[in-house]
Structure 1
Amino acid sequence: MLFIDFQNQFSVYPVFSLQDIRKVVDNFSYRQLDRWEKKGYLKKIKRGFYCFSTQDVNRDFLFYVANKIYAPSYVSLEMALKHYGFIPEEIFQITSVGTKKTTGFEIPVGNFSYRQIKPSLFWGYRLVEFGRQKMLLAEPEKAVLDYLYIHSNLKTPEDFLGMRINVDEFKMQISIDRFQKYLEVFDNKTLSKRAKIFLTTIQRDNA
């Protein structure tokens, strides 16, 4: 297969695997990917995953990569909080949650971390368009609740003040009704108690 034909067929995919290719091209050999990588036509993202060398590596692309290389998962926790403007710190890992075991990858395009959640908690994400594909990103309310759920050591007003939440952004983007409904779905009394302290603390901090 000529590279130009391959590029025309797969240019809609920001990241692709050998498995993706074989769904379209029967008996496609991984050796062809290796040859194209050596020629500089492709970049290896991670073992088994590639992108075109012309691909722009921006935040949306990294979110898509995070979804793709360890599925099922969606971007959440610190990176989602930063994305929504809730926290001031720069975040140097693409943080996600998923149903597989907790892990992380340091690969050429960036650092990726994944925290495991129960399958029953795999919801509350948006399908965000990225080119002709879609990526999964936690809704604002779910990003906060995922963070509180994972970081169970955060319990006191002092702990929550330490998160340095931008209260103006929080009020603009968070639906308290949706936050409370999502909290009920967690069905976790300890989390509910901590979330109540969290809300009270940041509202008082803005008073």
Structure 2
Amino acid sequence: MTDIELLKGLDTEIPGWVLQSRLNERGYTNIWQKIEGLVADGYIERVMRSWYCLGPLLRKRQPSLRYLACNVYGPAAVSGSLVLFEDGLIPDAVASVTAVTSKRSRSLETPYGNIQWLTVPRSSVFPGTYAVKDPPGYIRATPEKALLDQLYIIRYTPQNYSFWKSFIFEDLRLDEEALEKLDLTNMHELASIYNSPKIMKHIKWFKKYLGIPDK
């Protein structure tokens, strides 16, 4: 059996256990030696420990950084700056795929681009997210959730309303028109999950700025 036949049918992104299972089924005994050989020959590429992608000659599409962000250091969801940019809330594109997780913050360089994971409370990783079905699929935050995640990971808390406006529109460069389109009711519900006085203060200031009564 050739190495191409060995890897036939595997997805572009390959969890280590899937690769090991395939090698076991094909009768390999020194699995790690075989994996190293597949990497050396370019049939697969190592993303990180226990995660691989098919090499350029075998894959039918580019590896999905977003799928990898949600799975190789998961559970995680694509959020933060990337979502804010894509949804028109901030003007500047980001170089990395940004995701949130309850694990320790870290970054990963891959042959396909970089991933940055940021820490939020475990209970707030998935509320306010949805599944993107385009293969291979991934979990993505709504713009409301992405903004709350971004505010949570920033250590700075404005001390008054004037500083808050400067922070939101000059430092974060949030688009005012896009902000007005956000669902503040939904944001308030999501904010309570963080159990963070800082986040609740931001919600209060958003309501004040938009002229929404703070019930």
SS in 2 for 1:66: helix
Pair 1:190-2:198 in alignment: yes
User: What are the within-5 Å matches in structure 2 for residues 1-207 of structure 1?
Assistant: 2-10=2-10, 13-23=11-21, 26=24, 29-54=31-56, 55=59, 56-57=61-62, 61-123=64-126, 124-131=128-135, 133-155=136-158, 156-162=164-170, 163-172=172-181, 174-198=182-206, 200-201=208-209, 203=210
TM-score normalised by structure 1 residue count: 0.81
TM-score normalised by structure 2 residue count: 0.78
Unaligned segments of structure 1, at least 5 residues: none
Letter in 2 for 1:129: K
Deviations 1:158-204 (A, max 9, x none): 001122223344445x3222112112333433321123324544x59
Cα distance in 2, alignment partners of residues 186 and 147 from structure 1? 12
Larger radius of gyration: 2
| Number of residue pairs aligned between Structure 1 and Structure 2 | 197
Letter in 1 for 2:125: F
SS in 2 for 1:6: helix
Letter in 2 for 1:75: V
How far did residue 102 of structure 1 move? 1.6
Unaligned segments of structure 2, at least 5 residues: 159-163
Letter in 1 for 2:67: Y
Cα distance in 2, alignment partners of residues 80 and 154 from structure 1? 22
Deviations 1:30-66 (A, max 9, x none): 32232222222222222332111234447xx111121
> How many percent identity over aligned positions?
21
Cα distance in 1, alignment partners of residues 157 and 111 from structure 2? 33
